[in-house]
Every structure is written in C-alpha cells, then in structure tokens.
Amino acid sequence: MSHNHSQAPKLGKLFLVPAPLDFGCDHDVDLQLVMPLSTLTTAANITHWICENAKTTRAYLKRIDVYSSLKVPVQSQVISELPRQVHKKGDHLGSFDAKPMLAAALQGEDIGLVSEAGMPAVADPGSSVVRAAHDLGIQVIPLVGPVSLLLALASSGLNGQNFAFVGYLPQDAQERSRRIKELEQFALKSGQTQLFIETPYRNAALWAALVQSLQPNTRLAFSSGLTLPEAVSKSAVTQHWRKLADGQMPEGLSNHTPAVFLIGV
Amino acid sequence: MSHNHSQAPKLGKLFLVPAPLDFGCDHDVDLQLVMPLSTLTTAANITHWICENAKTTRAYLKRIDVYSSLKVPVQSQVISELPRQVHKKGDHLGSFDAKPMLAAALQGEDIGLVSEAGMPAVADPGSSVVRAAHDLGIQVIPLVGPVSLLLALASSGLNGQNFAFVGYLPQDAQERSRRIKELEQFALKSGQTQLFIETPYRNAALWAALVQSLQPNTRLAFSSGLTLPEAVSKSAVTQHWRKLADGQMPEGLSNHTPAVFLIGV
C-alpha cells in the first residue's frame, strides 16, 4: 500500500494571480503599492502560466522580477494563451474544455492563471480553467491583489451588502438606454447596487446615456483609474451630474482610463 | 482672491482601509501576506478612525505598527465607533447621518474607515460614512487588501462576468429553503452567479439546506478560511455534494471559520 501511495503523483496547484490595474495606461504603478509581498514571491516561483496574452504576461513577470527574483528566466517560462472568442457573450464557459491546459499540474507543476488586469476570472476570462481544476481535483488558491469592482463599490457610498456586477451594457444607443432603465428599476425596487463597465473609449457615450436616462434622484457613481495616481471616485444623484455642461464628463472620467460605473440608492 | 484661496481649509481624505480576514480566527495571519506595503504605510500615518469596534481597531493598529511605525501611539489615536443597529436589514443607510463623524476631515485630518474584516462598506457597515464624505466634498481613497467575496468568486469556476452578492439568507428553515430556490432559479435563468454568507456557527445548517434544496445539476461552491493557512475553495454540482454522508460538510468547511457560498451554472 505504501508503495502505491508513493507512486501517486503530487498534483500542482492552480494559483489565481492578480495583475495591476494599469493595463493600457501611460505609467506603470509600483507593484508594491497594489500587491502584498507574498503575492509577488508566490508568483515569482511559478513557471507555468495560463493567460489572455503571453506578451503581457512576460511583461508582468519582468515587473515581478524586480521585487522577487523569478525562479526561471522569463524566456524559459511555459506560457499558454486562452483561446479567444470561444464563447458568446454571457456564456462564461462555452464549449471550451480547459482540462488539457492543466496537464502540467497533473505532473506536479504549479500553474498561475493571470488576466490583463485585476483578478483572473472576475470580469475577465478564466473561469473555464478554474472549473477544470476543480474537476481534476487540483487545488485552487486565490492570491490577494487589486480588484477594481470592489474598490469602486466600497468608494461609491452605495449599498455594499447587496450588489450585482452585470458586465457591459449594449452598444446600440436605444438598447443601452433601455438596459440602463431596466437596471435602475431593479436597483430601486430591490436596493441592489448595479455595477457595470465599458471599454474606455466609450466612457463618454455611456456617461451621457446614464445622465440622460436615469431619474433625477437615482444615485450615479464612478471610479476611474483606480490605484493610479489620478484615481478618482465620485458619487452623487443624477440631477447633480445634469448640472454639468451638456455632455460633459465629470473631472476624472475620460475616454482613456478604465472606469467602473454604479447606480443605486 | 489669492488671500481667500489661502484661507480655504485643506480637506482631509477618507481612506478605506481593508482589514485581514482572520477576525475571530485562532491565529493572526502575517499582514504582509495579505496587504500591499503601501496599504500598511498609509494606514500607519492615519490618526483618526471610524470603525465598528474600537478595541478591534486598536488591535489592528498594533499589528500594523510591526510593519510600519504608527505616526502616533495607539492610545492617542482618535477612534469613533459607528452606531450599531441604526438600520434594519437591507437598508444600508437608515436614518443615520454620518457627516458629524467626518468633522476632523473638514479640519484637514485624514480619516481611516475600517471594518472587522475585509473591505469596509462591502458586506459590512460603512457606506453611510462614504456617502457623507462625497456629500461633503471629501476625497474617498480605497486601499488594496483582501476581499473574501471576490477571492471566493474567482476560485469558484462560476460566472465572474455576471454575479451578485445578496448578503445573508433567512434563518428560518422554510424561508431559507424558499430563498435558496429563488436564488437558484434566478441564477439558472440569468446566468448570474449568486453569492451569500452566513454567520460561521450556522454554516452546517446552511450547507445542509443547500444540498437538500438545490437541483442535482446546479453548481454549488464555497470558500472557507480565505487567506488563512487552512483556506479551502471547492466547486461541484450539487449531486456530487449529496454523495457525502448525510448532513456532512465537505472537508474544509466548518462552523468555526468564515465562509462564502456560491451557486450558479
């Protein structure tokens, strides 16, 4: 029996490695500002990665190396990209089977799952990999790091005891307006804060639609550039925002910086 | 004009200071494992606090002091407790006006808002203070730290692109069962992952109700003891959990450790 036991392969673990929130921004934040030391040292010891984009991951590993020396050089890391567009919007798994991507963990290697910004598998791909890990009996360990949605929620003064993140709103103006009103009705009725995001270059269009569509007393909040030097979080009733010059975004919100939007009571 | 300008008081800021997730647990986690260095140094420079419990806050400040020397000794810190039970369940503000608690910020002092565990104002009181800060024009700055809800979500393999946190379920067995089925229906229909929490000593009762009430193919996940050495995150369809001996909780879940529960597809 002990003979069989010693032959059982020791499984590697799947670490969920958060990334800083400066992706696509002008300046890199100092990783020590946003990451616990142990997140950096744990990441530095991982040699196998699953990610959205290998180039971004290599750049991130180089930044980690400044604080905690990588176990193996960047060019020797084994980096696999998640397939793109494997599923339609709203379907977080699609028909994609991520189990083969975890083969190294079955051989005993720890694997890091990382996204372009923030926590993998939250408002980002990766849940298919996490699910595959559970199905294979591979231990899943989340590491602490910045999560824009929760930083924005805490900063909003809106209900943090009942909230939902609903992803992106429709791009079509009419559908977007309809969706905003639907979310507002639900927020007013249930007291559940509604969070959503937008591709930065559409922030102005979304903001204009929000200020136009929401009722005067509904509270509208946003956080922009979270964890960056220019970070701004603001919260006020819609009628306050309407007083800004026509179509103008509030100070701190721009078409260049990732933002989180929130409506509620 | 410049005369008037120089007389305008410089406002202090409201920092949202996360706390470690070991509240009420047997051992303290090393703060460096869960907090970025800058969260600790920023907190060490704050001398005015708003919290749930002054004793807990003083204990936390002593732990911070180990890594970053406090600007003033613990006994000289100005610590104000939020009033308890000021609002009924589901009403995150009640009739409480938190503006007077921010008087020091109007005099130029930075104030830290802290809860017993995790991010203030998320699944915890504090939103009234954040809202008051916005109303007074006081800048709100969230600091990075551990957030159990998002660590659990990332670890669940459930949909992280559409999710809701709904707080606590009813304590009455019949109402709880009804609520579980309502959340399940919504999750199955909308694809929105539903997260909730329970007071640890009721974890066994909640788990039994979940395994009994959910449909066989609905996925049920939990994270327990997040960021602690004994942390466990598991995810499987309900019929898998039903195979455990009657009423038995899965390994890692207990009535002594805080847990987050998730259902979805």
Return the pLDDT at B242: 93
Return the pLDDT at A8: 63
Return the pLDDT at A90: 56
Selecting from B91, B122, B221 the residue whose C-beta is nearest the C-beta of A150 gives B122
Return the pLDDT at B27: 80
Averaged pLDDT of chain B = 92
How far is Cα of residue B196 from the mean position of the Cα atoms in its chain? 12
Of residues A123 and B166, the one with the higher pLDDT is B166
**Which chain B residues contact residue A227 at CB under 8 A?**
144
Report the C-alpha gap between A76 and A71 in whole angstroms.
Answer: 10
How far is Cα of residue A60 from the mean position of the Cα atoms in its chain? 15
Q: How far is A31 from chain B (nearest CA, A)?
A: 9
Selecting from A142, A221, A231 the residue whose C-beta is nearest the C-beta of B151 gives A142
Tell me, yes or no, if A227 comes closer than 8 A to chain B by beta carbon: yes
Of residues A186 and A33, the one with the higher pLDDT is A186
A91, A147, A189, A241: best to mutate for the B interface, most B CBs within 10 A: A147
**Which chain B residues contact residue A36 at CB under 8 A?**
32-36
Q: Say yes or no to pLDDT of A86 above 80.
A: no
Q: Which of B230, B168, B166 is nearest to B192 (CA)?
A: B166
**Closest residue in chain A to residue B144, using alpha carbons only:** A146
Q: Is B9 exposed, middle or buried (0-12, 13-18, 19+ CB in 10 A)?
A: exposed
Rounded average pLDDT over A194-211: 95
Return the pLDDT at B91: 65
Q: Say yes or no to pLDDT of A123 above 70.
A: yes
Return the pLDDT at B47: 98
Q: Say yes or no to pLDDT of B57 above 70.
A: yes
Q: Say yes or no to pLDDT of A28 above 90.
A: no
Q: How far is B260 from chain A (nearest CA, A)?
A: 13
Q: How far is B56 from chain A (nearest CA, A)?
A: 20
Rounded average pLDDT over B79-106: 81
What is the pTM for the complete model shown? 0.93
Would you state the structure tokens that stand for residue B50, as one six-digit string? 């708003």
Q: Say yes or no to pLDDT of B138 above 80.
A: yes
pLDDT bin (cut points 50, 70, 90) of residue B67 is very high
Return the pLDDT at B248: 85
- Side by side, the strands of the sheet bearing B163-168 are A232-237, A219-224, A259-264, A193-197, A163-168, B163-168, B193-197, B259-264, B219-224, B232-237
pLDDT bin (cut points 50, 70, 90) of residue B244 is confident
Q: Say yes or no to pLDDT of B26 above 60.
A: yes
What domains can you pick out in chain B, each with its CATH number?
11-142 (3.40.1010.10), 148-264 (3.30.950.10)
Rounded average pLDDT over A224-234: 94
Selecting from B127, B159, B231 the residue whose C-beta is nearest the C-beta of A158 gives B127
Distances (CA, A) of A215 to A39, A187, A208, A242, A265: 43, 12, 13, 11, 11
For B168-181, the pLDDT digits (tens) are 999 999 999 999 99
A223 and B134 Cβ atoms separated by less than 8 Å? no
pLDDT above 90 covers a percentage of chain B that reads 82
Rounded average pLDDT over A136-147: 96
For A44-84, the pLDDT digits (tens) are 999 999 999 999 999 999 999 999 999 999 999 999 999 87
Q: Say yes or no to pLDDT of B29 above 50.
A: yes
**Closest residue in chain B to residue A233, using alpha carbons only:** B140
Q: Say yes or no to pLDDT of B46 above 80.
A: yes
Q: How far is A98 from chain B (nearest CA, A)?
A: 11
Selecting from B33, B130, B147 the residue whose C-beta is nearest the C-beta of A157 gives B130
CB-hemisphere CA count at 13 Å for A77?
A: 29
pLDDT above 70 covers a percentage of chain B that reads 93
**How many A/B residue pairs have CB atoms within 8 Å?**
199
Cβ contact, residue pair B154, A121, below 8 Å: yes
Cβ contact, residue pair A127, B160, below 8 Å: yes
Radius of gyration of chain B (CA): 21
Rounded average pLDDT over B73-79: 97
Selecting from A33, A37, A154 the residue whose C-beta is nearest the C-beta of B119 gives A154
Tell me, yes or no, if B119 comes closer than 8 A to chain A by beta carbon: yes
Q: Say yes or no to pLDDT of B3 above 50.
A: no
Selecting from B30, B120, B167 the residue whose C-beta is nearest the C-beta of A154 gives B120
Tell me, yes or no, if A222 comes closer than 8 A to chain B by beta carbon: no
Q: Say yes or no to pLDDT of A143 above 70.
A: yes
Tell me, yes or no, if A153 comes closer than 8 A to chain B by beta carbon: yes
Q: Say yes or no to pLDDT of A4 above 70.
A: no
Q: How far is A116 from chain B (nearest CA, A)?
A: 15
Tell me, yes or no, if B230 comes closer than 8 A to chain A by beta carbon: no
Q: Say yes or no to pLDDT of A114 above 70.
A: yes
pLDDT bin (cut points 50, 70, 90) of residue B159 is very high
Return the pLDDT at B88: 55
Find residues 49-78 of chain A whose CB sits inside 8 Å of chain B. none
Q: Say yes or no to pLDDT of A125 above 80.
A: yes
Distances (CA, A) of B133 to B15, B105, B126, B129: 10, 9, 11, 6
For B12-22, the pLDDT digits (tens) are 999 999 999 98
Q: How far is B181 from chain A (nearest CA, A)?
A: 18
Q: Which of A237, A233, A253, A238 is nearest to A156 (CA)?
A: A233
Q: Say yes or no to pLDDT of B252 above 60.
A: yes
Selecting from B16, B35, B90 the residue whose C-beta is nearest the C-beta of A191 gives B90
Cβ contact, residue pair B227, A144, below 8 Å: yes
Q: Say yes or no to pLDDT of A106 above 60.
A: yes
Report the C-alpha gap between B263 and B235 in whole angstroms.
Answer: 9
Would you state the structure tokens that stand for residue A156, as one six-digit string? 């909003």
The two most distant CA atoms of chain A are separated, in Å, by: 77
How far is Cα of residue A157 from the mean position of the Cα atoms in its chain? 21
Return the pLDDT at A84: 78
Residues sharing a CB contact under 8 Å with residue B36, sequence separation 6 or more, in sequence order = A32, A33, A34, A35, A36, B143, B144, B145
**Which chain B residues contact residue A149 at CB under 8 A?**
150
Return the pLDDT at A1: 38
Averaged pLDDT of chain A = 92
Selecting from B146, B160, B166 the residue whose C-beta is nearest the C-beta of A122 gives B160
Return the pLDDT at A3: 45
Give the strand pairing for B163-168 and A163-168: antiparallel
Q: Say yes or no to pLDDT of A26 above 80.
A: no
Report the C-alpha gap between A234 and A202 in whole angstroms.
Answer: 19
Q: Say yes or no to pLDDT of B79 above 70.
A: yes
